[in-house]
Amino acid sequence: MSAAVVEKASTTREGAFGNAVALSCRECGHRVDLGPFYACPECFGPLEIAYEFGEVTREQIEAGPANIWRYKALLPVPSDIEQSPNMEPGFTRLLKADNLGAELGIADLWVKDDSTNPTNSFKDRVVACALSAARELHAKVFACPSTGNLANAVAAAGARAGIKTVVFIPSNLEQPKQVNSAVFTDSLVAVDGNYDDVNKLASEIAGEEDGWAFVNVNVRPYYAEGSKTLGYEIAEQLGWRLPDQIVIPVASGSQLTKVHKAFQELIALGLVEDKPYRVFGAQAEGCSPVSVAYKAGVDAIRPVKPDTIAKSLAIGNPADGIYVLDICRGTGGAVEDVTDDQVREGIVLLARTEGIFTETAGGTTVAVLKKLVETGQLDASLETVVINTGHGLKTLDAVSGSVAPAATIAPTYAAFAATGLA
Ligand SMILES: Cc1ncc(COP(=O)(O)O)c(C=O)c1O
Ligand SMILES: [Zn+2]
């Protein structure tokens, strides 16, 4: 964000960011004041929010609303956040997935189903936090580069909040994801390039234009914290305890790192018992820079040109990739990838076992879960959570060739009997 907004940011009201006290560099620990900053002035490392929480109790949280604001004490948002118009995302279902578990040989399996958020992906969580920051920093425009779901969430949240939105997407994006943004904003910009090109363009615009809050660029530290609520909810819905294993899709890697951060915070605050848990990352083979580095045993992530049907995960140069490697290795997890055919099979498998229609990101995650069991990387005897981050109606084309009516018949009993379906 440019100088004009920085100046205004100094007029930020007291308590604008709740219990957040500073921005802290993930690489060198250098601290800067809360504001529209995202890179460390010392080493250019990514900044993240640092807090002084004080006491936070289960009772306080349980008395809150059935959305992410029940965790507002743990987020960089003001204590009156519920008063400003927002999409009220979160507190989605955690479903016991016995049928899928039986199919995969996992004794104790849960699906965290984030496809039921207001715009049908987990992105409503991060956008709600970014919107709060944009408001408190007096941004004029709410914007993002996106692989699709983020654009939907930004466009909708901006409409509800009455703030101008401009969203940028790769022009080859699935049509439903384009419509799901364009219906909320007259400023959807389709860019001829892949996500990494769109992201670069957004950074350039953020440097040129006054007062633009790009949710995942210049207010990224605030935005990213929204993903922590997935971790808080899973723990609370399990009865205030952590699962043994969790499988999470990886594009930029932000979500995975924040679910881990959430678990660590819950332990530090005494809200759950400290215990080991293993974190697994899921990628599609056609865009698997993190899983390639994981398997090669190296720390550096080599950017790739994405080529996969899992377009929502198609980030070839993932900002949080190195942190994903650290967490997955450090917790005894892994990062794995699957082919596009396996992604399609994963979508159908989840649908037919649990009645949940997921998009390609979820197909990737379910297929990776299956592969992790088959290869012995995941312990099928332990309690496992898999996150479904988006809805299948947005990526219909992925499975429209593999699922179809079993028969097309005349409206007669004889015709039906002839199908053998009776
Ligand atoms: C449905 C879905 N799942 C997962 C992700 C990955 O999120 P992250 O970039 O935080 O790794 C995305 C990102 O766009 C997404 O749209
Ligand atoms: Zn630094």
Q: Pick the residue whose CA is nearest to atom 6 on ligand 1.
A: 251
DSSP-derived secondary structure letter, 371: H
User: Which of 116, 147, 357 for mutating ligand 1's site (highest number of atoms within 8 Å of CB)?
Assistant: 147
Residue 167 lies in a domain: no
In this prediction, residue 1 has a pLDDT band, given cuts at 50, 70 and 90, of very low
Q: How far is the CA of 47 from the centre of ligand 2 (A)?
A: 8
Residue 369 lies in a domain: yes
Of 206, 271, 254, give the one whose Cα is nearest residue 57. Answer: 271
Residue 329 lies in a domain: yes
Distance, in Å, from the CA atom of 115 to the CA atom of 339, rounded to the nearest integer, reads: 22
Angle between helices 149-161 and 123-136 (to 10 degrees): 40
Distance, in Å, from the CA atom of 389 to the CA atom of 126, rounded to the nearest integer, reads: 12
In ligand 1, the atom with minimum distance to the C-alpha of 324 is: 11
In ligand 1, the atom with minimum distance to the C-alpha of 250 is: 11
Q: What are the pLDDT digits (tens) for 142-167? A: 999 999 999 999 999 999 999 999 99
**pLDDT of 7 higher than 70:** no
Average pLDDT over residues 297-318: 96
- What lies within 8 Å, CB to CB, of 266 at 6+ separation is 231, 232, 235, 242, 272
In angstroms, the first-to-last Cα distance of the chain is 64
Around ligand 1, the residues with Cβ closer than 6 Å are 121, 123, 147, 149-150, 249-255, 312-313, 359, 361, 389-390
Residue 124 lies in a domain: no
In ligand 1, the atom with minimum distance to the C-alpha of 312 is: 16
Helix (H/G/I), strand (E/B), else coil: 305: coil
In this prediction, residue 10 has a pLDDT band, given cuts at 50, 70 and 90, of low
Please tell me the pTM assigned to this model: 0.96
Residue 348 lies in a domain: yes
For residue 363, the domain's CATH number is: 3.40.50.1100
Give me the domain span that covers residue 313: 94-119+224-400
Q: What are the pLDDT digits (tens) for 59-107? A: 999 999 999 999 999 999 999 999 999 999 999 999 999 999 999 999 9
Token pair listed for 59: 């009772």
Domain count along the chain:
1
Q: Are 47 and 37 in contact (CB under 8 A)?
A: yes
Q: How far is the CA of 312 from the centre of ligand 1 (A)?
A: 6
Q: Report the mean per-residue pLDDT for the chain.
A: 96
Average pLDDT over residues 126-134: 98
Residue 141 lies in a domain: no
pLDDT at 12: 86
In ligand 1, the atom with minimum distance to the C-alpha of 252 is: 9
The ligand minimizing its distance to the Cα of 361 is 1
pLDDT at 8: 47
Token pair listed for 48: 């993240």
Q: How far is the CA of 221 from the centre of ligand 2 (A)?
A: 14
Q: What are the pLDDT digits (tens) for 14-63? A: 999 999 999 999 999 999 999 999 999 999 999 999 999 999 999 999 99
Q: How far is the CA of 254 from the centre of ligand 1 (A)?
A: 8
Residue 374 lies in a domain: yes
Helix (H/G/I), strand (E/B), else coil: 102: helix
Region of residue 127 (left: phi > 0; alpha: psi -120 to 50; beta: else): alpha
- What lies within 8 Å, CB to CB, of 18 at 6+ separation is 72, 73, 75, 76, 77, 78, 79
Sign of CA dihedral 347, 319, 385, 106: positive
Residue 62 lies in a domain: no
In this prediction, residue 11 has a pLDDT band, given cuts at 50, 70 and 90, of confident
Q: How far is the CA of 290 from the centre of ligand 1 (A)?
A: 14
Q: How far is the CA of 309 from the centre of ligand 1 (A)?
A: 14
Of 214, 143, 213, 155, give the one whose Cα is nearest residue 179. Answer: 155
Q: What are the pLDDT digits (tens) for 369-394? A: 999 999 999 999 999 999 999 999 99
